[in-house]
Structure 1
């Protein structure tokens, strides 16, 4: 694996990318951001991804996050992007549109792996659960450094509800919950995750992790729980690392 890789983070509102120092887990240049095209069809997004790569004159393999279940390059779901993505071979699409080898991964998986390699879970063994609390609840499950892809643990049913509909940060804002009341919902969610996976460490990310001092101590779990460190750069870093290690997707 070389010293530098390239990562792109496709989101509902913006597509961001930058070269990444693979040894330090840090961006090697300022991020370049382009608004996500509307509608976010496969061809429109692919053209925007090429724009980001061309901005940096990057011509090697690159990694790309996507807000969906991505199984061996095939997009199985679509959140905040056009439903036309479902069934699309993202590796083939982006490879053809950009002229570079691409590896496409679930956005929470990329961010979670970055936290394990370079962030809050660095040098920790065992089962690590990384949860991103935002519009929904993203999840990454890593065992001794190996990623279990597409866990989608925000959609586990708890007390008759899709978990993220009650415990995501968007639910806190929508219902104007106090930190204490929101933490009670997080306690219910994470205790359920503990019963399923018995993690050795839980890392919580998302924008609200910047305010962890307001609520983290109120979540009653037996597992050590810490805030994420890489924040908005985690997806870019994780995607670049996975692409460098796997050499791009196989279409």
Structure 2
């Protein structure tokens, strides 16, 4: 079964058809720069362009940088605040003419890792953290997603954790990898204290092998700790895989 996966980000909107049986992209991903401002109508237009690029007429799964409930965006991160309260699933459905399922972007990346990546075959308590512009989180209990956890917004030093411990914070403050790892360790220890997962998977840009090699061995957790495997394709794959529910009757998107 093939589903078009779309990953909506603050800098780019990426998409590709995905074989949801094995998690493989069936074509080279197509990327379009995120419009400014990234309003719902503008983004929906970009998604429609990507669908046309692949001559797509089937189901679509979209990863959105927002908390999403029943297809409606409840927040907006790195996209226009006009998304808040927008029925994103309906909007993209109307723009593309294709049935659409929408979920949080970190949740999508986590779903991909659990189905086809570092969490495959794990049936215990798994936390996926995506570290890049911000910090996203996806929590799984026996392979079941607990959606919209948004653990990047836990408090750290009186601020949102992602404003202090994300990769963007490392770049903004010109921190060495070792200095940043010490800061991220504080966040990681706090999250582990609260949730006590069996496995922590670190995704996002810092999971790339060359970056992980610069700091990964400095992180200490009681849980098993490993980098994500799917990297930049995780959002696309997870969005497509999550949209398989559209093939079931009576789905609330």
| TM-score between the two structures when normalised by the length of structure 1 | 0.95
Q: Does 1:221 align with 2:221?
A: yes
1:8 equivalenced with 2:39 (yes/no): no
Q: Give yes or no for the alignment of 1:178 onto 2:164.
A: no
Question: Following the alignment from structure 2 to structure 1, what is the Cα–Cα distance between the partners of residues 156 and 175?
Answer: 19
Q: State the 1:143 CA deviation.
A: 1.1
Counterpart residue number, 2:58: 60
Q: Which residue of structure 1 aligns with residue 156 of structure 2?
A: 158
Look up the match of 2:87: 89
Moved over 4 A (4+): none
* C-alpha separation in 2, matches of 1:52 and 1:179: 36
Residues 51-130 of structure 1 mapped to structure 2, 5 A cutoff: 51-130=49-128
Look up the SS of the partner of 2:207 in the other structure: helix
* Structure 1 residues without counterparts, runs of 5 or longer: none
**TM-score, reference length from structure 2:** 0.94
Deviation at 1:245, TM superposition (A): 2.8
Mapped partners of 2:170, 2:14: distance in 1: 27
1:145 is matched with 143
Q: Deviations over 1:176-199 (max 9, x none)?
A: 222222111121111111111111
How big is the shift at 1:144?
1.1
Alpha-carbon RMSD: 1.4
Contact kept? 2:68, 2:104, Cα under 8 Å? yes
The size of the alignment, in residue pairs, is: 249
SS at match of 1:141: strand
**Alignment match, 2:231:** 231
1:164-183 Cα deviation digits (max 9, x unpaired) = 11111111112222222211
Residue 133 of structure 1 deviates from its aligned partner by 0.9
CA distance in 2, matches of 1:52, 1:162: 34
Paired residue for 2:205?
Answer: 207
Aligned CA distance change for structure 1 residues 172 and 23 (closer, same or farther; 3 Å): same
